[in-house]
Amino acid sequence: MTFLKLLLKSNLIFFVMTTIVTGKNLEDNQFVNYYLPYNIIALHYEIKLTLPMPFQKYIFYGESNINIIVRHSTQKINLHSVFVDMDKQVTLIHETSKKIYKSSTFSCDFDLFICTFNFNDLITIGSYILKLKYNGTMSNCEDADGFITTFYKDESNFKWIYSAGNFQTTVGVQYVFPVVNDLMFKATFKIIVDHPKSCAALSNMPVISRKNIENEPQMMRANFRTTPAMHPYLVTIIAADLDTTYTKKAYIPLSCTGLTAVKRLHFALDVAENTTIYLKDTYFQNDILNDIPQTNYIAIPYYRDDGLPNWGTVFYSQEAVSYIEEWNSIQRKTEVSALVARKVANQFLNKIILSSWSDIWINEGISTFLGMHAVDKIFTNLRMMNLFVVRTQCESLHLESITNVPSVVFQIKKPYDIKLFSSFRYNKDYIDNIRKLYSCNISMTLETQQCCCNLCCMGNVPVESISADNLWAAMQTALNESHKNEFNIKKLMDFWITQNQYPILKMTRNYRDGRTAIWAEMRNMSKRHEWWIPVTYTTETNLNFTITPFCEDWITPEQFFIYLPPINVNNWIIVNLQHFGYYRVMYDMENWLRLANYLNSKKYYKIHVVNRAQIIDDAYYFLIMKQLNFDMFKNLTMYLSQEIDYIAWYPMFNIVRNMLNHSNIFSHPQATPFKEHMRNIVSNLLEKIGYVNLFNDIHITSLREEAAEWACFFGDETCRKTAYRELQTYMTTITEDSKILLKKWIACGSLMTTNTTNTWYNIYNLYNELTDIVILEYLPCVKQPIIIKDYLKIIRSKREISVKNYNNIFFSAIAYHANNDDMLSIILTNFEAVKPKNENDYKNEYMFETAFSSSNFYKFFEKNIYKRLKKGNFIFYGKSTILFEDIYRKRVLCLYAKNIAINVSATKIHYFTNNTYHEIVPIMHQIHKKSQTIEIVFDYPFLRNVNIYRVTMEFLGSITDDKGGIVKRSYINDKNKKSWLFIADLRGAGARQIFPCWDEPDTRTNFTISIKHDQYYRALSNTKVTNMFSVKHEKNWTHFEPTAKISPHHVMILLHDFKQIDDSNIWCREQVQQDMEFLQLIVKFTTLYLKFNDIIFLDTVMHVVIPDFLDLGMQSWGIILYRETNVLYDKKLDFIAWKFEVAFMIARKITHQYIGNLVAQPSWFHLWLNEGIATFLAINTVNQVVLYK
């Protein structure tokens, strides 16, 4: 109970409130139960995996023996296993009688990720061993799940890394082996890995033996100890050629890409060691939570670092934890230390098993707090808590003010809802508000045994069933013992965890009698009465920024306003001490003025540094919301010229950084006063603290360097000249050891001087020698646009520069030169050569050179889509035949596909050569979720003497409500009954959700569409119907004419039961036909106008009016869809403005048919041109209609 009392005294309640308030409560849709029935429980997995040799097939093979308990007699066994290719028959052996059962049939539910094995015999209650074999594919995509393949290059060779762990979702482990995946049950794991000898294998537990494999001279077998009971998603396996170093005190192993990386990782390793020692000595002396004997720390270049934690193995991105004292800022140091310490703490807490995935924040929250607390105690000079709260509060409040942030607590409605850690919610809100647990700086002296016990049990609750309600109940008990029982913690917390907004506290004062009123405002005013908001404050004559253990003043459901005791009318007041509450504060103008005057005095330091930062951040928010004028903001921030604390400066640096990165505001004349103000305060600061680091204070050093960077940026000549002198000194005294010490402000400041060509090339040559990506980020500072153009062309072609790094550099160049018309003109003129990369560029150029561009081989595309639209069944089935030419003669066929399941066994390629018809089948299919591609790999490259190949594929997909692809809509028909409509919603790249294709905007080909559908539907597509006939089961086949050459996103498929208006191509509900007169008129006049002006036109364009149609997708070819309410016009009821708006909308859609859809653009970026032409013609058309009338 001691630990729980500490949580209360440290105001953990308010950290949770502020953590979760930023979220958005999910709609209460029907819950999809993807959990497996509890009639089968897995107790132990024995898993043997065989990994491929480098540069061979990206396929691994697996065998699993799973010890299960059957709790109820059954004839089927369900497993989560759709992501591996399993043998269609499994063996079940009764452990006692040794009776053998063989499965008879096999089926999979791709929506729920469940495969079912059916048995002819009844499986009775008892213990069994389930034997199965499978294989899976490895991916090179960093956001994929399962086994990830990557490589790095040392001094001479490429070295490969196979890793399975740090999964993006809790279902990610299913890409590695089949599991009974439920949070409520744990199992032990015995891992055996056959891997190339060039690698060393690691897993959760230490290796028992390594031995050669008979008849496999290039392979080795690693046999690992059995794990303690744990959840499958904690399993990790890695095989890599890495070098390992150990710490001196705790002997912690760190594996990385060679000793050259150790220097950059030394600080991270130091944090890991000291955090481990501190947590063990302080909280985990008996280590009762951790059954893993040793944790392996692994740093991999450019590795994703936002997945689920593992147990016994910790993955880091090498770049994310690199830090060099002389090179990086204090902000970077806190980021690295927080990340490393959190993952260390997680290793101690992974035994805590939660009652549902929605409570995952409990485990992660405690881990984050313990990690931050440890760093704060170990590295006292970091002032970790103060800097961390300022940094993360600034960023999270800013982001939440412009977007909706998902909730930390959420309902699980489908397996992919368990994607937890890659969003802003985790990276910012957790870390930001966890800090509230230690915000009052209360001593952490507590007995280790009690802390561990309470962490595990939360007050007599077993670790297998910890939940938020358990936590609230335990905290309520501790609160009651502290005689603070006026709060109902569950009631207080349950509301906050469902909100997606933060409050703004308003304050007004009576300067005659000293009375002060404080109240809260929210965007959703109807919810105001439900908030519980803690209010803390201090005044000028009674300065006290200490946060007491229990907050006395609250805005509650019963108390909307707080009236403070009389305050000296000559004093200022500050609300929200140390940014304790997750809200902003808007003072009256007089109080703002008094704060500004006090800050600009020599006594400014008496205001707590966190509150000094908060005042600046809040003032800027109210400035952009036009609630505070610029003169007041300027007055408040003028004091920064004497502020020497980096923490107080951070919000201002963050403000200008966001302005530069996310807008071109600095290019506008209206920004001149702000730029002059910034130049003045940073220049005055640098006059005070100088440009040279004279003593070892990391906060002053970081402040000096960032202030110098902005002084140079805003045009301070002293700064630029100083930077140039420093660069000359650096270049003349450079040594091998000092090359890495070049500072950004020195490089950028030098490049902003008048004659910079030689300077630019000198700095660029440093990159060629050091291959340090950071140097490339300096180079866009140069003034000459022609240099930037050549620079971007050069680095875009460099293989070692990732997509992310190049795009950061590109947008940095744009931001630096947003006010330079010559620069932007050169960028646009050479856009194809310098444009941002995407993952497909990266994959095509570097990782899979066998992939090829679609624009070179599209000849003809013939597609059949079958539909089975029985009640409750919203799955479509399809078969496609693609004719293509392969000009590169590779052995991989790469297509786009998203959220569709491929029937692997049905994929075949046919070709004709030497008077012989040939058929080949692929050796594997590789799916990449992030790039939305599927790679079909064959044994041999395509032949040179074959001009045309024909690939046939079968697939299935889901019909959704609003997520693109084929979507369903319901409406009330003329008989006042609910009717369904099915539409192909191809927003952007939506075609890949219906059939595998190449769907770049410059791809154009012919499509032949055939649809099988229920007889009570009518099918429409881009062209006329050629044939329609009935088949069994009350189905119809509808065949359409081949289209002209169009892009895939112009394809349209529509099933409906609308009525056609006589003598027109307009389809709509029967009950609104009389309201379509205006639509008919505009369609007629627009068509005549376009034909009269010799615009290319189609023979037939169909117009379909749909109730409640979202109308956000790309325009199709040959068919136009309208939202019903958007085309209704009644001249007796509607304004003339609505008439013109409706006419323009209709005309623009029609002109798209005649211009936009027939003009292919080289990239998605250029589609604005189609829209622009269509809009121009639509305006002219409407004008002509008006003149005619």
| 187: DSSP letter | B
Per-residue b or e along 1120-1147, where b marks 16 or more CB atoms closer than 10 Å to that residue's CB: bbbbbeebbbeeeeeeeeebeebbbbbb
Length of the chain counted residue by residue? 1189
The reply to whether 495 and 505 lie within a common domain is no
What is the structure's pLDDT at 384? 76
Q: What is the mean pLDDT of residues 341-354?
A: 78
The tokens describing 663, both together, are 């807008």
Residue 693 has pLDDT above 70, yes or no: yes
DSSP β-bridge partners for residue 77: 117
pLDDT bucket at 750, cuts 50 / 70 / 90: confident
pLDDT above 60 (res 32): no
Q: What is the pLDDT of residues 41-54, one digit of tens each?
A: 899 999 999 998 87
Per-residue DSSP letters for 856-878? GTEEEEEEEEEEE--TT--EEEE
Residue pair 4/474 in contact by the 8 Å Cβ criterion: yes
Please say if the pLDDT value at position 226 is more than 80: yes
pLDDT of residue 485: 56
Phi/psi for 930 (5° steps) reads -65, -45
Q: What is the mean predicted confidence (pLDDT) over 873-891?
A: 71
Report the pLDDT value the prediction gives residue 873, as an integer from 0 to 100. 47
Mean pLDDT of 499-520: 88
Q: Using pLDDT thresholds of 50, 70 and 90, give the confidence band for residue 21.
A: very low
Last residue of a domain, one of 592, 624, 642: 642
Q: What share of the chain is helix, strand, coil (3-state, %, to 5)?
A: 40, 25, 35
Residue 57 has what pLDDT? 66
Q: Are residues 610 and 637 in the same domain?
A: yes
* pLDDT given at position 625: 85
The answer to whether the beta carbons of residues 199 and 159 sit under 8 Å apart is no
Same domain, 487 and 545: no
Helix (H, G, I), strand (E, B) or coil at 852: coil
Q: Is 192 left (phi over 0), alpha (psi -120 to 50) or beta?
A: beta
The distance of Cα 518 from the centroid of its chain, to the nearest Å, equals: 38
The two beta strands, 313-317 and 296-300, are: parallel
- Going across the sheet that includes 200-203, the strands are 147-153, 158-164, 237-240, 200-203
Q: Is the Cβ–Cβ distance between 256 and 159 less than 8 Å?
A: no
Give the highest mean pLDDT range of 239-248, 406-415, 568-577. Answer: 568-577
Of 662 and 1013, the structure prediction assigns the larger pLDDT to: 1013
Residues 48 and 221: their CA atoms lie apart, in Å, by 10
Q: How does residue 36 score in pLDDT terms, banded at 50, 70 and 90?
A: low
pLDDT the model gives residue 1028: 86
Measure Cα distances from 367 to 206, 315, 1031 in Å: 24, 16, 62
pLDDT at 1144 exceeding the cut of 90? no
Is 1094 a domain residue?
Answer: no
Task: State mean pLDDT over 1003-1025.
Answer: 86
CA–CA distance, 611 with 545 (Å, rounded to integer): 9
Mean pLDDT of 970-987: 77
pTM above 0.85, yes or no: no
* Confidence at 893, pLDDT banded by 50, 70, 90: confident
**pLDDT confidence bin for 652, thresholds 50/70/90:** very high
| Strands (DSSP E) found in 973-1048 | 978-985, 1007-1014, 1018-1021, 1025-1031, 1035-1040
Q: Is 133 in the same domain as 232? A: yes
Alpha-carbon distance of 360 to 407, in angstroms, equals: 12
As a whole number of angstroms, the distance between CA 844 and CA 1028 comes to 42
Choice among 319-328, 703-712, 869-878, 991-1000 with the minimum mean pLDDT: 869-878
Cα 644 from Cα 699, distance rounded (Å): 9
Rounded CA separation 384/374 (Å): 10
pLDDT above 70: residue 392: yes
> What is the DSSP annotation of 786-814?
HHHHHHHHHHHT-TTS-HHHHHHHHHHHH
Residue 731 inside a domain? The answer is no
pLDDT one-digit tens code per residue, 1028-1061? 888 877 788 898 888 887 878 788 888 888 889 9
Residues 528 and 584 in one domain: yes
Residues 107 and 154 in one domain: yes
Q: Within this chain, do residues 512 and 400 fall inside the same structural domain, yes or no? A: no
- Tell me the CATH number at 492: 1.10.390.10
Tally Cβ neighbours within 10 Å of residue 1006. Answer: 15
The full 3-state SS of 199-257, as one line of letters, equals: CEEEECCCEEEEEEECCEEEEEEEEECCCCCECHHHCCEEEECCEEEECCCCCCEEEEC
Is 79 contained in some domain?
yes
State the pLDDT at residue 528: 52
The reported pLDDT for the residue numbered 925 is 80
Task: Provide the pLDDT confidence category of residue 195 given band limits of 50, 70 and 90.
Answer: very high
Among candidate residues 499, 524, 548, the one where a domain is terminated: 499
Gap between the Cα atoms of 958 and 965, Å rounded: 8
Instruction: Please give the average per-residue pLDDT across 700-713, as a whole number.
Output: 89
Biggest CA–CA distance in the chain, Å, is: 104
Q: Identify whether the C-beta of residue 613 lies closer than 8 Å to the C-beta of residue 650.
A: yes
Structure confidence at residue 436 (pLDDT): 37
Percent of the chain scoring above 70 in pLDDT: 71
User: Is residue 227 situated within a structural domain?
Assistant: yes
Q: Under DSSP, is residue 1001 helix (H, G, I), strand (E, B) or coil?
A: coil
Residue 288 pLDDT > 90:
no
Backbone angles phi, psi at 953, to 5 degrees: -140, 150
Tell me, yes or no, whether 613 and 559 share the same domain.
yes
- Together in a domain, 341 and 318: yes
pLDDT-above-90 percentage for the chain = 19
| pLDDT exceeds 70 at position 798 | no
b/e map 482-521, b = 16+ CB within 10 Å: eeeeebebeebbebbbbbbbbbbbbbebeeeeeebebbbe
Q: Does residue 805 surpass a pLDDT of 80?
A: no
Residues 133 and 200 occupy one common structural domain: yes
Q: Which pairs count as long-range contacts for 831-838, CB under 8 Å and 24+ apart, including other chains? A: 831/1165, 832/1162, 832/1163, 833/792, 833/793, 833/796, 834/789, 834/792, 834/793, 834/796, 834/810, 835/810, 835/1163, 835/1165, 836/806, 836/807, 836/810, 836/811, 837/796, 837/803, 837/806, 837/807, 838/803
**Does one domain contain both 454 and 505?**
no
Mean pLDDT of 665-675: 82
Residue 886 has a pLDDT of 59
**Locate tokens 């205006």: which residue?**
1078
Read off the pLDDT band of 56 (50, 70, 90). Answer: low
pLDDT recorded at residue 985: 66
Residue 8 lies in a domain: no
Higher pLDDT, 175 or 185: 175
Average pLDDT for 168-195? 81
Rounded CA-CA distance 903/955 in Å is 5
Q: In the chain, how many domains are there?
A: 3
Tell me if 515 is assigned to some domain: yes
**Which residue has better confidence, 843 or 210?**
210
Strand partners, 188: 44
In this predicted structure, the answer to whether residue 866 has a pLDDT above a threshold of 70 is no
Q: Which residue has the higher pLDDT, 493 or 887?
A: 493
Banded pLDDT at 26 (limits 50, 70, 90): very low
pLDDT digits 0-9 by tens, 422-481:
333 344 444 433 433 333 333 233 333 334 344 443 444 444 456 777 777 777 777 777
Q: How far apart are CA 1189 and CA 1185, in angstroms?
A: 6
Taking residues 1006-1015, what's their average pLDDT?
A: 87
Chain mean position to CA 831: 27
Domain of residue 362 covers: 248-499
Confidence at 412, pLDDT banded by 50, 70, 90 = low
Give the mean pLDDT of 164-178.
79
Q: Which of 79-88, 1009-1018, 1088-1097, 1105-1114 has the highest mean pLDDT?
A: 1009-1018
Averaging pLDDT over each range in 245-254, 564-573, 952-961, 1102-1111, which range is the top one? Answer: 564-573
129: its two tokens? 């061993």
What gap in Å lies between CA 2 and CA 998, rounded to an integer? 62
DSSP 898-931: -SEEE-GGG-EEEEEETTEEEEE--SEEEEETTT
CATH number at residue 569: 2.60.40.1910
CATH number at residue 70: 2.60.40.1730
In 3-state terms, what secondary structure has residue 704? helix
37 contact partners, CB below 8 Å, separation of at least 6: 78
Residue 417 pLDDT > 50: yes
Task: Please indicate, yes or no, if residue 1068 is contained in any of the structural domains.
Answer: no
- Cα-flanking dihedrals φ and ψ of residue 749, to 5°? -60, -40
Q: How high is the pLDDT of residue 141?
A: 65
Q: Which of 892-901, 955-964, 1128-1137 has the highest mean pLDDT?
A: 892-901
Q: Kindly state whether residues 493 and 579 are assigned to the same domain.
A: no
Rounded CA gap, 934 and 880, in Å? 15
Q: Judge whether residue 1179 has pLDDT over 60.
A: yes
Pairing, β 933-937 against β 924-928: antiparallel
Tokens at 285, concatenated: 């002396």
User: Which of 209, 241, 273 represents a domain boundary (last residue)?
Assistant: 241
Residue 258 lies in a domain: yes
Q: Do the bridges between strand 561-564 and strand 158-164 make them parallel or antiparallel, or are there none, so unpaired?
A: unpaired
DSSP 250-274: S--EEEES-GGGHHHHHHHHHHHHH
Mean pLDDT score, 785-803: 71
In 919-939, which positions are buried (b, 16+ CB within 10 angstroms) versus exposed (e)? eeebebbbbbeebbbbbbbbe
Q: How many helices (H) and strands (E) does the chain have?
A: 30, 47
Q: Residue 930: which pLDDT band, with cuts at 50, 70 and 90?
A: low
